[in-house]
Amino acid sequence: DYEQYLKTRGIFASWRMSTLNNKVVTLLGGRFEATDYTRDNRGLNTFETFSNEGFTPTAGLNVYLHPQLTFFTNYSQSYYPVTRTGFDDSGDRIEGGLPNEEGSGTDVGFKSRLFDGRLSFTATYFTIQRKNVPYLVDFPAGTDGASVPSAYRYQTAGLIEGDGFEWDVTVK
């Protein structure tokens, strides 16, 4: 038996600039977000509050190489407030909860529209990095001297990376 409350506030702003007769378009932006979380777990007789905040910038560039061919690149960061109780390697509770999940991503590619838009394709190479992703840990009963069931025990992963290619073709 528990109650939880989540309150999130945020603001996003961006700036876009076109140069060289609109052949180069730059986008810069960012979002600031603040989160307050409260959990009252009457079954475990615990009351926890977490406050998190984060800023996530983004930047992009489009270069129109030809009326039917565009080069693009983008970089962005991500932030996800983690509202879970954390435990260290010895099973002791981490005061203040787990750190926020953070990430970043980059993509580079080309877009094209041919035959009056009846054929379009996108070819993209992307990279993704994430850290502090929470995962469940199964500690032996009583490791930390508390009565917290294993189902509520979380730690965070180190750096997780991925990359790849994405292809998209549309025929109308």
Amino acid 89: pLDDT: 67
User: What percent of the chain is modeled with pLDDT above 90?
Assistant: 52
Cα distances (Å, whole numbers) of residue 152 to 42, 86, 88, 95, 127: 14, 9, 13, 15, 32
Cα distances (Å, whole numbers) of residue 74 to 13, 144, 145: 16, 45, 48
Amino acid 24: pLDDT: 97
36-56: average pLDDT: 77
The terminus-to-terminus CA distance of the chain in angstroms comes to: 54
Query: What are the residues facing 36 on neighbouring strands?
Result: 7, 51
pTM for the predicted model, two decimal places: 0.74
User: Helix, strand, or coil here: 139?
Assistant: coil
What tens digit of pLDDT does each residue of 65-109 get?
999 999 999 999 998 877 666 776 666 777 667 788 899 999 999
* Backbone region of residue 20 per phi and psi (left: phi > 0; alpha: psi in -120 to 50; beta: other values): left
Q: For CA atoms 136, 142, 144, 146, give the dihedral sign.
A: positive
Q: Given pLDDT bands bounded at 50, 70 and 90, which one contains residue 53?
A: confident
- Which has more pLDDT, 157 or 24? 24
pLDDT at 28 over 90: yes
Cα distances (Å, whole numbers) of residue 142 to 25, 28, 54, 93, 139: 59, 50, 35, 13, 8
